[in-house]
Amino acid sequence: MKEVMGRKLQGTVSPCAACKLLRRRCTQDCLFAPYFPADEPLKFANVHKVFGASNVNKLLQELPVQHRSDAVSSMVYEANARVRDPVYGCVGAISSLQHQVDALQAQLALAQAEMFHMRARHAAQLAHLGAQCNNLQSPIGRSAATTTTTANTASSGSPSASTAPMSPTSSELIMEMQHHARSFFALDMADQANMGQLMWSC
Pairwise CA distance, residues 136 & 141, whole Å? 5
Q: Give residue-wise pLDDT tens across range 66-91.
A: 999 999 999 999 999 999 988 888 88
Query: How much is the pLDDT for 74?
Result: 93
Domain positions in the chain: 2-84, 92-148+165-201
Q: How far apart are the first and last CA of the chain?
A: 38
- Give residue-wise pLDDT tens across range 18-34: 999 999 999 888 999 99
The predicted pLDDT at position 198 comes to 46
DSSP code of residue 167? P
> What predicted TM-score, i.e. pTM, was given to this entire model?
0.49
Helix, strand, or coil (residue 181): helix
| pLDDT single digits (tens) 106-148 | 999 999 999 999 999 888 888 888 787 777 766 555 555 555 5
| Three-class DSSP category at 26 | coil
Segment 1-18 shows an average pLDDT of: 60
CA atoms lying within 13 Å on the CB side of residue 11:
0
